[in-house]
Structure 1
Amino acid sequence: MIFEMTTQLKVASITDGQAWYEILLNKKPDFIPHAGFAEWQLLPGCWLQVAEGTPAVGNGPLRFGIANIEAERERLIEQLKIERFEIHSRPEVSVKWGTFSDPWGNQLGFFEYFDKREEQERIKAIIGLLKV
């Protein structure tokens, strides 16, 4: 049974990488166990690790669910100077999504549910896991 997960992204400089991801995630790391490594808990049992090292080529994208993709895109363009990314959708898919890169080439992205009731149900399901 799988009960937790982590994913790790490499950055050339942990100082720069940690600062960049603090802005992206709107929070400081939850755990810094040693030099060259920072970790954020994104959801209960779901961790993003940023480690100093050689970034992987062609990885990802790692996409985060958010409530307003357009507003978040504008925030990152202003605060992190990312390039404007296109927001995609398809009639058979319940979300719209977009992909961008961090300064080290790691592919990241966002997705947003069209149906806000569905989004709220997903949030309630995740919050329900907190009580387990």
Structure 2
Amino acid sequence: MIFEITNQVRVTDIQQGQRWYEILLNKKPDFIPHEGFAEWEIIPGYWLQVAEGVPSEGSGPLRLGVTNIIAERDRLVKELGIEKFDIFSREEVTAKWGSFTDPWGNELGFFEYLDKKEENDRVKTILGI
């Protein structure tokens, strides 16, 4: 039985990386077990680990579900200075999405459900309400 997930990205400077991901995720790490490592529980049972090291090329993107992709993109352009990324959609896909990279080359992105009832149902399921 799988009951939790962790995903790790690597950064060459943990202090800069931790600050960058604090802004991305709008919160401080939930757990710092040792030097060179920080973890955030993004949703119950899903942990993002930021570790000091050599970033992996060609992995990702790790896409995070958001309720307003345009607002989140604009926030990151302003607060983190990322390049404004395109937002895509396709008729057969129930979400719109966009991708960007962190300063270490890790591929990230956001997605937003087009059907807000579906989005609300997913949030309730994930949070157990």
Q: Report the alpha carbon displacement of residue 127 of structure 1 after superposing the two structures with TM.
A: 1.4
* Superposed counterparts of 1:1-132, under 5 Å: 1-128=1-128
The 3-state SS of whatever aligns with 1:49 is strand
Q: Given the two structures, how large is their TM-score scaled by the length of structure 1?
A: 0.96
Q: Structure 1, residues 13-46: CA drift from partner, whole Å, max 9, x if none?
A: 0000000000000000000000000000011111
Q: Secondary structure at the match of 2:127?
A: helix
Moved over 2 A (4+): none
Question: Any idea what the Cα deviations from partners look like across 1:19-77, whole Å, max 9, x if unmatched?
Answer: 00000000000000000000000111110000000001111000000000000000000
Structure 1 counterpart of 2:23, one-letter code: I
Normalised to the residue count of structure 2, the TM-score between the two structures is: 0.98
SS of equivalent to 1:63: strand
Secondary structure at 1:8 match in 2: strand
What is the number of residues matched between the two proteins? 129
**RMSD, aligned CA:** 0.7
Q: Given residue 83 of structure 1, which amino acid in structure 2 is its aligned partner?
A: E
Name the CA distance, whole Å, in 2 between partners of 1:5 and 1:115. 26
The letter of the residue matching 1:25 is: L
Partner-residue secondary structure (3-state), 2:126: helix
- Whole-angstrom CA distance in 2 between matches of 1:59 and 1:126: 25
